[in-house]
Structure 1
């Protein structure tokens, strides 16, 4: 099962009021394990960066001026996410912006049902408790000390760790609870382990092999181990 843990940074709160995406970061998971594949892109929002947004993200007009506009990166972004589930903290916010940007460049929108909202999972699992990304890092003992500013790739990497804790730790498929968040009761996917390119060497010494051969020899002709 392929999942993309995703985060965006924006100039504000509402794309319909002219706010735009300035950064996208994403991390690929395969069967709940990070593969090492990531997507990261700064984007020229084609508008001035408000001071309050600059203070949150640390991204200013001078830095973003020579970055590509969304239309130039849309195909690469769509190719990276593919048809995977999108794991997002406060998914409604990011999905709203992503679909606005995709609509403006006449690209297919991301279906809302593909989004897995970790904020909703956290609020359901810990009702009444703080559910921000920082609060969840404190709860699960995840180091977020490098998160002095909001950055899309760093936040998606941290969110990937939080997500795995929310669905049951590093091995969620071993959970015994039925119907837990993030667990699927559907059929197994088509993933299969691949053979090793180089077989592991035998751990038996020559003396151990000789002792075993002598033992089998002593069992006689009718021994099970001597039958073809």
Structure 2
């Protein structure tokens, strides 16, 4: 596992009675200032006993105020003819916002969907009140190393884990289903990591220092431990070592010890520079 941050956010998501809305949009393009949502889909769940109980579903098409760009049509298969009799965004925005209200928004690259929805709300002067967000793409990057897959797109990761049965990708309702399947799978994987972590080796810190390295991926916080040297690469945002097999090391405990020892957050660790590190030491 690369970091504690993503794992802890995922584990906290699965608390009883939390309401989450897994959402996805198909759009005319990627510019939230000028492009429009042409399909909004969502499945709302209540968390109970570490399971996801579906309590609502929405799948709605929206007519854009201009023709569908050919590039977008090639991706999502949505045509002007299909959208001709669909409602306008003004007609459906209140229903969409009511569906998401009070929920934690979950999606795959969810920041894009939130930007598009926020732009819709701004244009129509409609308030949107949600209670947080969770990006399943971020979790996929945390759990699946780059060398294991061609990319981290939803379709690629879904097929990698074999949960793509019955899914037509780039249909937003099917993308929602794929995202929900991955969400539950990734939660289970994090829980299994916790169980397996009980037998992993705990390292004891002797001293730390910052080294810029000979290559950019070598820059980071270096930790001399009782068993050898490890370092947190500020470029790769992950723990590395040429001396130890990190699959056998309790990296959760090590990372926590480092954050406490240096008095910093994970975000500060990931953005550490030589200057910042020595200022920390100077002020210690």
TM beyond 0.5: yes
Aligned 8 A contact 2:167 2:178 in 1: no
Distance in 1 separating the partners of 2:57 and 2:20: 12
Unaligned residue ranges in structure 1 (runs of 5+): 181-228
Structure of higher CA gyration radius: 1
**Residues 115-135 of structure 1, C-alpha deviation per residue, up to 9 Å, x if partnerless?**
210111111222324321112
Unaligned residue ranges in structure 2 (runs of 5+): 1-17, 199-251, 253-284
User: Which of 45, 65, 73 is matched with 1:29 structurally?
Assistant: 45
Distance in 2 separating the partners of 1:139 and 1:61: 34
Number of residue pairs aligned between Structure 1 and Structure 2: 175
Q: Which runs of 4+ in 1 moved over 3 A?
A: 171-178
Relative distance call for 1:39 and 1:175 in structure 2 (3 A) is: farther
Distance in 1 separating the partners of 2:22 and 2:163: 16
Q: CA deviation at 1:174?
A: 11
Distance in 1 separating the partners of 2:52 and 2:192: 12
Corresponding residue for 2:144? 126
SS in 2 for 1:22: strand
Name whichever structure is richer in helix by fraction: 2
Q: CA RMSD, aligned part only?
A: 2.5
Name whichever structure is richer in strand by fraction: 2
Distance in 1 separating the partners of 2:99 and 2:164: 27
Please say if 1:167 is aligned against 2:183.
Answer: no
Relative distance call for 1:172 and 1:45 in structure 2 (3 A) is: farther
Q: Flag the structure with more relative contact order, 1 or 2, with Cα contacts below 8 A and sequence separation at least 6.
A: 1
| TM-score normalized by the length of structure 1 | 0.69
Aligned 8 A contact 1:118 1:163 in 2: yes
| TM-score normalized by the length of structure 2 | 0.56
